[in-house]
């Protein structure tokens, strides 16, 4: 019996060690992905600095546009992840969206199968979009932007709020929200740039603002998508680290049990050998 116990513990110790090493590698990959994506976020601030210039050259504050109105039906976008270790954070995002004022009458749009599945389980209908891809998030943002602008112009919703997981640090995430519609900040009165030459407009102000609004919404969505991916990498790293520590502690426990079983086996073998020698001596006498 001790021999079987020792062999079983040895196999379990080997499996636990290999699993610990695998989790350590996965944790390193998630951490590296987080750092690489985090460095790319600087481009969003540069985009907004350049983007603001359009609204300083042309005064859109008096333009009557449906995207500037703060009244009308509410739409809510929920960004969830279909990757592992994200169940708790996905739940927080969905709960925050459902707790938003007028959410019971809102039109829901979900990013990711997990969010859509949760809403359907609660009896809520929604328009589904695939989860954020590892590559091609810009194309995903463009598709969602086109849907938003078409539905908003049709009157499906006039207000649109997006809920998503935002990383506060490498180890901490929170559920945050951003207002997509109305684009009030874009229509705000700004200090005009002094131009040396007269500005010539080839298109109408409506066409110009449509293009600029589309670019702004795309940028917001892309920034949210990347923040959500950062949260995904962060949450995955935290969960893997917790699992890694559990396995390390289990490794110590199994080693203790293995060496104890092994020592008991050796001790029993020595006693049996000693007893056999005594029996042989007695027989000779």
Which among 100, 158, 152, 88 is positioned nearest to 124, based on CA atoms?
100
Cβ atoms of 239 and 171 within 8 Å: the answer is no
Which tens digits make up the pLDDT trace of 178-207? 999 887 666 665 555 444 455 444 556 667
Q: Are residues 62 and 6 in the same domain?
A: no
Distance CA 164, CA 174 (A): 8
The answer to whether residue 105 scores a pLDDT higher than 70 is: yes
124 CB-near residues (< 8 Å, 6+ apart): 108
pLDDT-derived band at 173, boundaries 50, 70, 90: confident
The answer to whether residue 120 scores a pLDDT higher than 80 is: yes
CATH of the domain at 191: 3.40.1380.10
Q: Are residues 213 and 272 in the same domain?
A: no
Q: Tell whether omega for the bond before 241 is within 30 degrees of 0, i.e. cis.
A: no
Q: Are residues 245 and 225 in the same domain?
A: no
Q: Are residues 153 and 87 in the same domain?
A: yes
User: Which tokens belong to 188?
Assistant: 């705000």
- 122-136, 176-190, 206-220, 240-254: range with lowest mean pLDDT: 240-254
The pTM of the whole model exceeds 0.85: no
Q: Are residues 200 and 222 in the same domain?
A: yes
Q: Are residues 68 and 156 in the same domain?
A: yes
Can you give the pLDDT at residue 211?
Answer: 80
The packing angle between helices 137-154 and 205-284, to 10°, is: 130
Q: Are residues 71 and 208 in the same domain?
A: yes
Number of separate domains in the chain: 2
What is the pLDDT of the chain when averaged over all its residues? Answer: 76
Can you give the pLDDT at residue 1?
Answer: 40
Q: Are residues 106 and 174 in the same domain?
A: yes
Mean pLDDT value across residues 117-126: 92
Rounded to 5 degrees, φ, ψ at 179 are -85, 120
Mean pLDDT value across residues 78-89: 81
Can you give the pLDDT at residue 3?
Answer: 44
Task: Identify each DSSP E strand in the chain by its residue range.
Answer: 74-79, 107-111, 127-129, 159-167, 173-181
pLDDT-derived band at 226, boundaries 50, 70, 90: confident
- Domain ranges, residue 218: 34-238
Q: Are residues 201 and 110 in the same domain?
A: yes
Which tens digits make up the pLDDT trace of 9-39? 667 767 667 666 766 776 666 666 666 666 6
Which tens digits make up the pLDDT trace of 253-285? 766 666 677 666 666 777 767 676 667 766 666
Q: Are residues 122 and 200 in the same domain?
A: yes
Q: Are residues 85 and 156 in the same domain?
A: yes
Q: Are residues 153 and 269 in the same domain?
A: no
Can you give the pLDDT at residue 62?
Answer: 64
């Amino acid at each position: 019996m001790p021999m079987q116990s020792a062999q079983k513990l040895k196999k379990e110790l080997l499996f636990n060690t290999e699993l610990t090493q695998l989790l350590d590698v996965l944790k390193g990959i998630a951490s590296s992905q987080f750092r690489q994506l985090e460095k790319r976020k600087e481009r969003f601030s540069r985009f907004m600095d350049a983007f603001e210039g359009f609204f300083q050259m042309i005064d859109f504050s008096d333009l009557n546009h449906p995207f500037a109105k703060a009244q009308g039906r509410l739409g809510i976008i929920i960004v969830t992840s279909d990757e592992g270790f994200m169940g708790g954070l996905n739940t927080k995002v969905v709960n925050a969206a459902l707790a938003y004022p007028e959410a019971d009458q809102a039109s829901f749009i979900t990013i990711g199968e997990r969010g859509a599945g949760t809403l359907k389980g609660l009896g809520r209908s929604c328009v589904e979009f695939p989860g954020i891809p590892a590559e091609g998030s810009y194309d995903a943002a463009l598709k969602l932007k086109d849907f938003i602008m078409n539905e908003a112009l049709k009157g499906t919703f006039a207000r649109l709020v997006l809920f998503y997981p935002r990383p506060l640090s490498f180890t901490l995430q929170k559920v945050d929200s951003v207002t997509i519609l109305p684009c009030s900040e874009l229509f705000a009165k700004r200090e005009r740039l002094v131009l040396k030459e007269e500005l010539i407009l080839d298109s109408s102000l409506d066409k110009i603002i449509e293009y600029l609004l589309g670019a702004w919404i795309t940028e917001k969505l892309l920034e949210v998508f990347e923040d959500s991916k950062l949260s995904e990498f962060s949450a995955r790293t935290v969960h893997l680290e917790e699992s890694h520590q559990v396995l390390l502690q289990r490794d110590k426990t199994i080693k203790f049990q293995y060496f104890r079983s092994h020592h008991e086996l050796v001790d029993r073998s020595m006693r049996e050998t000693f007893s056999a020698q005594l029996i042989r001596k007695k027989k000779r006498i």
